[in-house]
């Protein structure tokens, strides 16, 4: 039998396709999950999916399924979500329903933000791609109002406070001011993923974002993908992401 690595319980549930990671955490804390007939209350409880049995309300689930990985060029007016109670269009609607496997976006892009989005059912990889401790770089193309002064540029790069917490260091490239249009274009690299972070950073310096597009994630780029188009990641790209996040170098993941 194939030996599988130990992973967090809530990630194993999410990987099974039963529900999202957040929903899985909630189910565990509510005492609705059993591992080998024992009720577990910690989402970070580690299981070995090769031998441990997970049940939800008495219903057994598989801890692992075939992993799939996609790269999408997200258009405007589409939610970075699996579903929406109000019936709004989500990124999952852009992929054919015949996939037959539950997948979810890695991190989020705002409804009006476009660009590169990774979708997968690999919970361990998704966790590492989004957690700031792994320092996975995301690059955004930004157009903002007005001209950015040097003092504000330093604030963006060194970090500024949002909701009482300082943002981690960022890098600004290709800074250009368009005088006739009174707007600045630039590239910003960050490895955090706080809600609406880039837009809020620019609001803090009084330069509202006019257009925001993610053009790179962990070294992957959109290439020739048009808005709304997607493609599966190649084996080399998947291996690259796993190497980048340390998954290839560990026999037992600590997530």
> Which of left, alpha, beta for 14 (phi over 0: left; psi -120 to 50: alpha)?
alpha
Q: What does the angle CA 10 – CA 16 – CA 22 come to, to the nearest 5 degrees?
A: 35
Q: Is 110 a catalytic residue?
A: yes
CA distance 64 to 42: 19
Max CA pair span of the chain:
68
Q: Which of 52, 93, 110, 152 is catalytic?
A: 110
The sign one gets for the Cα dihedral 29, 7, 62, 93 is positive
Beta-ladder partners of 186: 142
Helices (H), the chain: 9-15, 21-29, 123-130, 150-158, 197-204, 235-244
d(CA 60, CA 74): 35
Query: Taking the C-alpha atoms of 157, 159, 161 and 164 in order, what is their torsion angle to the nearest 10 degrees?
Result: 160
As annotated, the active-site residues are 110
């Amino acid at each position: 039998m194939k030996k599988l690595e130990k992973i967090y319980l809530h990630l194993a549930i999410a990987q099974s396709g039963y529900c999202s990671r957040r929903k899985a955490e909630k189910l565990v804390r509510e005492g609705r999950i059993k591992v080998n007939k024992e009720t577990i209350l910690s989402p970070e409880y580690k299981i070995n999916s090769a031998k441990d049995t997970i049940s939800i309300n008495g219903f057994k689930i598989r801890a692992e399924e075939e992993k799939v990985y996609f790269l999408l060029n997200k258009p405007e007016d589409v939610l970075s979500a699996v579903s929406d109670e109000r019936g709004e269009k989500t990124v999952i609607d852009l992929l054919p329903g015949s996939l037959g496997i539950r997948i979810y976006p890695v991190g989020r892009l705002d409804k009006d933000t476009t660009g590169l989005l990774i979708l997968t059912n690999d919970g361990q990889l998704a966790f590492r791609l989004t957690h700031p401790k792994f320092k996975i770089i995301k690059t955004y193309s930004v157009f903002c109002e007005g001209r950015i002064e040097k003092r504000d540029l330093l604030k963006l790069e060194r970090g500024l406070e949002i909701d009482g917490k300082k943002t981690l260091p960022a890098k600004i490239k290709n800074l250009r001011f368009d005088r006739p249009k009174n707007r600045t274009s630039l590239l910003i690299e960050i490895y955090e993923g706080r809600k609406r972070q880039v837009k809020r950073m620019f609001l803090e310096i009084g330069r509202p974002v006019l257009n925001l597009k993610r053009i790179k994630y962990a070294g992957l780029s959109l290439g020739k993908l048009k808005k709304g188009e997607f493609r599966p990641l190649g084996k080399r790209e998947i291996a690259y992401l796993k190497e980048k996040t340390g998954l290839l170098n560990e026999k037992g993941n600590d997530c």
